[in-house]
Amino acid sequence: MAATNEVFCSEVVGNRNFAALDNVYTAGARVLPPGAPLVSGREAIKTFWTGLVQSANAKSCTLTSVEVIPAGEAIVEIGRATLSFVDSPDPLEAKYVVYWRQEDGRWKWDVDIWNPNS
Amino acid sequence: MAATNEVFCSEVVGNRNFAALDNVYTAGARVLPPGAPLVSGREAIKTFWTGLVQSANAKSCTLTSVEVIPAGEAIVEIGRATLSFVDSPDPLEAKYVVYWRQEDGRWKWDVDIWNPNS
């Protein structure tokens, strides 16, 4: 799980390597972003994150697990996210819930929802 | 699950019977509301919803399951929420993820997070 979170922050946000989202989300994953409708499927999720990271000019992020709940063969994670931007000194503080599933032997995000703290 | 969702909309929001939250949330539930920090524990959650329903002057709500995912002895639900207000013709459209667990033979919300669609 830590490896997957690291891919998201370092590769996707940090290096803008959106193909690396293959290693973050399951093929049928659902993303529920604040201020937008549900996004379903990894290809649509790639389009979503490409647009958001580029338009917000995001620079880096950190993801911190607050709670990890075993749920059968899956895991529910509650966490804190910090997203930093090229053009602003003020990071966005958010919290999230991710439903994790294994795909191809790797733990990935199957359902991903977050919202800002303020 | 439908019964629990109905208690929330009819009793808690509709009738402002916040004691009914005992039948909605587990004792140790966590709520992750947009624009505020995580709220942990049913008593703190009662205080949270009492404040929000009263200050927003909420009138009614509907909760609609979009997906119900079995997760061991628990369930992950993705849904749509509509919250209506006494003083406004415009409802709030939101989406949510709830992690359900059984407590005292009843299905309850153990983790609850949502965000607005726009």
Residue B114: pLDDT band with limits 50, 70, 90:
very high
Can you tell me the mean pLDDT for B26-49?
98
Task: Give pLDDT, residue A38.
Answer: 97
Chain A positions touching B26 (Cβ under 8 A) are none
Residue A48: pLDDT band with limits 50, 70, 90:
very high
Burial bucket for residue A48 (CB in 10 Å: 0-12, 13-18, 19+):
middle
Q: Which residue has the tokens 């609850």?
A: B112
ipTM, interface predicted TM-score of the complex: 0.96
Residue B78: pLDDT band with limits 50, 70, 90:
very high
pLDDT, one tens digit per residue, over B6-23 is: 999 999 999 999 999 999
Query: 3-state SS of B49-67?
Result: HHHHHHHHCEEEEEEEEEE
Cross-chain residue pair B67–A30, CB shorter than 8 Å: yes
Query: Are the C-beta atoms of residues A82 and B77 closer than 8 Å to each other?
Result: no
Cross-chain residue pair B72–A74, CB shorter than 8 Å: yes
Cross-chain residue pair A32–B97, CB shorter than 8 Å: yes
Note whether B34 contacts A: Cβ–Cβ < 8 A.
yes
Residue A64: pLDDT band with limits 50, 70, 90:
very high
Which of A66, A71, A97 lies at the smallest CB-CB distance from B74? A71
Cross-chain residue pair A95–B71, CB shorter than 8 Å: no
Task: Give pLDDT, residue B39.
Answer: 98
Report the distance separating Cα A95 and Cα B75, nearest Å: 21
Angle (CA) B67 B68 B73, round 5°: 160
Cross-chain residue pair A72–B71, CB shorter than 8 Å: yes
Cross-chain residue pair A95–B32, CB shorter than 8 Å: yes
DSSP E strands, chain A: 25-32, 39-40, 58-71, 74-85, 88-103, 106-116
Can you tell me the mean pLDDT for B36-64?
97
Chain B positions touching A78 (Cβ under 8 A) are 30, 32, 38, 111
Distances from the Cα of A53 to the Cαs of A11, A26, A91, B19, B68, in angstroms?
12, 20, 13, 43, 30
pLDDT mean across residues, chain A: 97
**Amino acid symbol at A81:** A
Task: Give pLDDT, residue B115.
Answer: 98
pLDDT, one tens digit per residue, over A7-33 is: 999 999 999 999 999 999 999 999 999
Chain B positions touching A97 (Cβ under 8 A) are 32, 97, 99, 111, 113
Which of A69, A71, A116 lies at the smallest CB-CB distance from B34? A116
Cross-chain residue pair A32–B116, CB shorter than 8 Å: no
Can you tell me the mean pLDDT for B30-38?
97
Query: Are the C-beta atoms of residues B95 and B82 closer than 8 Å to each other?
Result: no
Note whether A44 contacts B: Cβ–Cβ < 8 A.
no
pTM above 0.80, yes or no: yes
Task: Give pLDDT, residue B82.
Answer: 97
Residue A47: pLDDT band with limits 50, 70, 90:
very high
